[in-house]
Amino acid sequence: MRILGFDFTSRPTRRKPVTCACCRLEGDILAFEGIGTFDDLAGFEAALRRPGPWVAGFDFPFAHARRFVTAMEWPAVWPDYAAFLAGMTRAQYRAALEAYKAPRPPGDREHRRAFEGGTGAASPQKLYGVPVALMLFEGVPRLLAAGLHLPGLCPGDRARIGVEAYPGVAARALLGARRPYKSDGPAGDDPARAAARRAILVALGGEAGRARFGLAIDAPADLAEDPAGDALDALLCAVQAAWAFRRGHTRDGPPGADPLEGWIADPAVCP
């Protein structure tokens, strides 16, 4: 089975593209085959339409918290919700999130989904810092338009399956601590972060990776040399997608998953 992992950005450029790790799963062996990049969202859209069979993990939230969607009176059925987002402009979407947040007290402005506790995931409403809300806005309508099968959320082409991934929770589990491993700023790489990336990759290919994901993962050491961590994150997304496929979650989703909020393909979230 072909397995893909997408490290996503809401406004890709040549300097900061969407990064895709391409892997091959045979039995319990996941072998890295290469990296692809997309400098714009049109390239990402074309990748979504490539014929399967494949399973892909995407590093952006597939939905807002049900509490937020209900309060906004947005559609509460995922395909309708995704189509509703597709009908908004980026400015309208941003304004809606800001208007919701403005009158609310601190600590009650950005809601997490029910399953996100303990994962370290930011609220899907977060617009600043790591703007996962904008990643959701740009990513979700494109998954719907491409006709992917999104287990537990939206039926589609079962030869092209998409699951929500979150490399941060996997990285922290493999490191055994919350250590920064990405150097996105203009100051360049940091030796401690570079060491953390290498430690993640070593753990992923060793007993820690096998124990957590049930996979023997074969990936080159130079994936850890990308200071931004995009290549490593893309690989982690592919690992999470492969794990979900082997667990049987890529047909109809894991038991008990909320059909609006969705789920993250990781043992920290799913059994």
Give pLDDT, residue 140.
98
Which percentage of the chain shows pLDDT scores above 70?
Answer: 98
Q: Which amino acid is at 155?
A: P
* Distance between CA atoms of residues 268 and 26, nearest Å: 24
* pLDDT over 90 (residue 183): no
Task: Please give the average per-residue pLDDT across 54-63, as a whole number.
Answer: 98
Paired with 157 in beta bridges are 148
The residue length of the chain stands at 271
pLDDT at 177 over 80: no
Residue that has been written with the tokens 């920290």 in this structure: 268
Q: Which amino acid is at 81?
A: Y
Task: Check residue 186 and give its pLDDT.
Answer: 52
pLDDT of residue 187: 54
Range with lowest mean pLDDT among 61-75, 91-105, 190-204: 190-204
12-42 tens-digit pLDDT:
999 999 999 999 999 999 999 999 999 999 9
State how far the Cα of 264 lies from the Cα of 166, in Å rounded to an integer. 7
Q: CA 168, 86, 256, 53 torsion: positive or negative?
A: negative
Share of the chain above pLDDT 90, in %: 88
Choose between 60 and 129: higher pLDDT: 60
pLDDT for 178: 78
Q: In what order do the strands lie in the sheet with 2-7?
A: 148-149, 157-164, 54-58, 2-7, 18-26, 29-38, 216-218
Q: What is the rounded average pLDDT of the residues 70-95? A: 98
Mean pLDDT of all residues in 201-220:
96
> Which domains does the chain show, CATH number per domain?
2-61+162-247 (3.30.420), 66-139 (no CATH)
Q: What does residue 40 show for φ and ψ, rounded to 5 degrees? A: -150, 170
Average pLDDT over residues 78-93: 98
In the prediction, which pLDDT does 190 show? 83
Mean pLDDT of the chain: 95
Q: What is the phi/psi pair of residue 262, to 5°?
A: 85, -150
Mean pLDDT of the 119-125 span = 93
> What string of DSSP letters covers 183-206?
--STT---HHHHHHHHHHHHHHTS
Gyration radius (Cα) of the chain, Å: 18
| Mean pLDDT of the region 100-114 | 94
The mean per-residue pLDDT over the stretch 104-132 comes to 93
> What pLDDT shows up at residue 179?
85
